Structure 1
Amino acid sequence: MDTTISDDEFIETVVSSAKREVHELAEEHIIFPGPDPQILIHIWHENDFYFGGTSERSYRPRGDIRADDLTPVKQWLIMELFDFLRLSWHLEDIGIAFRRLAPAPNWSQDHKTGELLHEGSSTGIIANDSSHVAANLPWFLKHSPERLFKIAHIESTKEVCQALFGMPRIPFA
C-alpha cells in the first residue's frame, strides 16, 4: 500500500484547518468531528479500497464513497468541509453543503452499481446515491484535492464559484 491514511499530510492539514483533531480509530481508520460535532467523519482503508463516510455519534460509518485510490476520498473530504472551512476562515459561506447541485457536465451515475461515470466511462468511484454525494462530488472530482483547498481560500464568492463550477454562481438543479 503506497498511501497511509493516518500520516497523510493533506488530510491532517484540512482537518486542522477546520479546527478539528484527527483520531486513529484503528489501523488505517481515522475519525474526527465534522461541522456538527455529533457527526463523525471517517476515512478508512479496507479490502484494497479507500472509503469516506459519516456517522452520527457512533463508530459505524455510512460509506459515502469508495475508491481504489485515496485521492477521490480527499476530494470528498474537501466537499464535505468546504463551507465549514470557509466559515472557519471568516469567508462567505457559499451554501453548497447538503444542497443538490445540477449534474456536472459529462458525469453520470450507474444506478445499479452506484459507480460514477465520466463521459460514460468507468471511474472506479462508487458513491452513495441516496445522499448528496453522487450529485455534488463530480464537481469536486474535476480538481485535485490541493486545488480544491486553494479554491476554498478564495475570498470572492463569484471567483470561488467560477473556479469550482466554471460559472460565477452555484449550479442548482
Structure 2
Amino acid sequence: MVSNTFENLDTDKKTRIIDSLLNEFSNHTLNEAQVSRIVKESGIARGAFYKYFDDLKDAYSHLYGIAMRDIHQDIETERSESPSAYVQQTREFVEKSKDSRFYSLVKMHILHNESTFVSVFDDHLITESEYHWATQVMIHETIKQIMLEPSAKEILLKKLANILTTLATEEK
C-alpha cells in the first residue's frame, strides 16, 4: 500500500515519480519492470522508492488506480442493467482511454498484466445474476478486442449490444 510519506510529497516530486511509473509500466510488463529505471528517471534513491511503495506491484496498483479514476471520472455509472447503458459505458471507457495519457498503461494492463491481479474466488460471483456476470465478461472482452484492433470498435460495440440484448431477453 502506498505510504503516507509518498502522499505527502510535494507536487513536483510526486508528479515526477508518477510520470516515471507511467513510463515504466506503459512500456514494460509488470514482470519486466525495474525499480532501477524508475528511480533513475524520477531522480530518487532506490531506498526512497521502497519507502513510498512496498514493491513494484504496489507502485503499479497505485498508478493503475490513478488511471482508472481519471478515465472513469466523467462516465455515467448509474446502476442500470439495460444493454444500451452498458454499451454506452463501454464506448465511453474506450474513448476516454484512447484519449488519456494512460492509454498505453491500460492496454498493457489488459493485454499482459491483468492476470497478476486476479484474486482468489470472489463470493459476489455466486450472488450476482447470470446476466450481470455475463455482461461484465462480455464488456471486458469487448474492450480487450478493441484495444487489439481499434478499427473494429463500431463492429465490436454492435456485437456487444446484440449479445447483451439477447441476454437481457433471456433473463426476463
In the superposition, the TM-score normalised over structure 2's length comes to 0.27
- Whichever structure has more helix as a proportion of its residues is 2
Work out which structure has the larger RCO, using CA pairs closer than 8 Å and 6 or more positions apart in sequence: 2
- Whichever structure has more strand as a proportion of its residues is 1
Larger Rg: 2
In the superposition, the TM-score normalised over structure 1's length comes to 0.27
